[in-house]
A and B are shown apart, each in its own frame.
Chain A
Amino acid sequence: MSISTGSAWVDGSSALMKRYNIFRSINWGKAAVVAVPGLWLAIFFFIPFLVVFKISLSETAIAVPPYTSLLEWDLEEAYVTFKMNLGNYLYLIEDAFYLDAYLSSIKIAGVSTFFALIVAFPIAYLIARSEGSTRGLLLALVILPFWTSFLLRVYAWMGFLKKNGIVNEFLLSTGLIDQPLTMLQTDFAVYIGIVYTYLPFMVLPLYSALEKMDVTLLEAAEDLGCPPVKGFFLITLPQVIPGIIAGCMLVFIPAVGEFVIPALLGGSDTLMIGRVLWDEFFLNRDWPMASAVAIVMLVVLVLPIMLIRNGQGKSEEAI
């Protein structure tokens, strides 16, 4: 097709082309491009939750797979029975253990998120206020641990915190303590582990908020005699609140369902819901109960978070 005969011609042919494309070739191609990832997610992401819900309503049985079927076919009598077992959910409510585990997960994740914010803020501030290549280097230093294995970073703290580990050796040699402290297999170690592994997620949004901040406001306040501490709380903090919220969400969300950190650093009494689900499945082999725990976790913890995120996205778009 020739399109070199003047601009009117070009416009005309391209409009024609677009129309042609929409009615002939795009639609099928377009549909396929939507359908392939859509179908993949439907099969391997959405349907699994329906399966989990179905199995949470069955009973555990000594069979392969280890649960009963909801539908029973009796061919001779020609009837089908549908049996739904709400026992798992009742048990979740009756046994205080599960409620404790949910609350304890939220507490541990919340406290860790707070400490992550305290540790991350000075780092983010320093990076945002440094120049050119120093800034790049410091940013890389924050991101580098994120690319190394999560499991191995948690493991590094085991060697650091154990009874004859490096922290205890150091404190003993300085004479600050005369008995080694028990730090590994406590809630304290879990807090450290969460703060440590999720620190980059807190630093990066804080950094981008601090970088965008209008520094002249701070200078103006200082010229007018505002003390630095007051300036920080009245001027800096309000401007970086979106960054703080984003960072807290990025740390809190994965921390609530965490399994590896409480399993390696926590004690046997460190109660977290991710670990309860794991034990229910791998140790007790109670698939229906594990499914019920997962469904409640999904409804109580994940759905609200997704709704908040969705709302945030909308309000940001509105601004």
Chain B
Amino acid sequence: MKRRSLFLNFAAAGGFLFLYAPIIALIIYSFNKSKLVTVWGGWSLKWYGELFQNEQIINAALLSFKIAFISASLAVVLGTMAGFVLSRYGPFRGKMILSGWITAPLVMPEVITGLSLLLLFVAMEGLFGWPSGRGTSTIIIAHTTFCMAYVAVVVQARLASMDETLEEAAMDLGAKPSSLFFLVTLPLIAPAIISGWLLSFTLSLDDLVIASFVSGPGNSTLPMVIFSKVRLGVTPEVNALATIMIAIVAIGVIAAMYQMRRQARLLAKPE
């Protein structure tokens, strides 16, 4: 028994090392003074300075944040509606189709989603003259479409695991459907909506393939700029950028965990 758990701990430690070694190496090398990425030339913040002077990267980052914010917000509205419909409406005509359309983007290869949306936009431009050219708005539409599927799944899972008696009570007490939703259901599923928004924001911020298909000239998002840079090899500026992004995410996740733990402790307290 003892020996087996030792082997297991060893294998698991190897797994965690595998998960973190490349990230840690990348962080350390972002502080490397030398331009040769693998030769250690002492500690320096030089590449961070260069990063903040690189207008191409800064502009791309701003564009990506804008797209991610708008797409995540739209995806939350549409995804919540879809998730709510699928779990609270009972059977209705077209339910199978809707639930198929909701889960399909989750298994669809990104190259197919990207290509099909681009061809749609081109065809629509030919037919209606909209969207004229491709750019920020087409990327937002594309991101909203695949993010809303994730939101719908998260919201649906939350609604399925939730106690329905509160909603039934409100209904029996005469709440209108709209106030039932906004005053009772919405506050109850708020955690799922928040995590759906964060997930959408992250996915949108990270998307390279779909954005490459549906963006136009002069509308490069951050992943597109990073990809064109790293395709040619490792660059110290991207190391610095990666370190900043990892730090932001790590702080966010740790803060969220701390908050959740505090809430759990408050709830666990006897009255």
Binding site for B on A (CB under 8 A): 1, 3, 10, 13-14, 17-18, 21, 25-26, 29-30, 33-34, 36-38, 40-49, 51-52, 55, 65, 119-120, 122-123, 125-126, 136, 140-145, 147-153, 155-160, 162, 164-166, 169, 196, 199, 222, 228, 253-254, 256-260, 263-264, 274, 277-278, 281-282, 287, 290-291, 294, 297-298, 301-302, 305-306, 309
Contact = CB atoms under 8 A, between A and B. Distances in A.
B109 to A, nearest CB: 2
Contacts of A3: 173-174
Contact of B257 (A45, A136, A260): A136
Interface in B175-203: 176-178, 202
Given A47-B120, A122-B15, A196-B19, A152 B108 contact: no
Given A228-B4, A274-B110, 14 more contacts: A14-B173, A25-B177, A37-B85, A37-B148, A48-B116, A149-B242, A153-B22, A160-B22, A165-B38, A166-B38, A254-B109, A256-B109, A281-B213, A306-B107
Interface in B153-188: 171-174, 176-178
A141 B92 CA distance: 42
B174 A13 contact: yes
Give the size category of B's interface with A.
35 or more
B213 to A, nearest CB: 8
B123 A51 contact: yes
B107 A164 contact: no
Contacts of B115: 52, 277, 281, 290-291, 294
Contacts of B58: none
B208 interface: yes
Main secondary structure of the interface of B (DSSP, over half): helix
Contacts of B108: 257, 302
Contacts of A43: 120
29 contacts: A37-B81, A37-B85, A37-B148, A40-B78, A44-B117, A44-B144, A44-B145, A45-B145, A48-B119, A52-B112, A52-B115, A123-B16, A141-B20, A143-B253, A147-B249, A150-B206, A151-B226, A152-B242, A157-B22, A158-B230, A159-B38, A164-B38, A228-B1, A254-B109, A260-B227, A287-B119, A297-B109, A306-B100, A306-B104
B116 A294 contact: yes
Nearest to B223: A151
B82 interface: yes
A292 B105 CA distance: 19
Contacts of B227: 151, 260, 264
A209 B250 CA distance: 27
Main secondary structure of the interface of A (DSSP, over half): helix
Nearest to A15: B172
Contacts of A33: 81, 84-85
B174 A46 contact: no
A49 B109 CA distance: 13
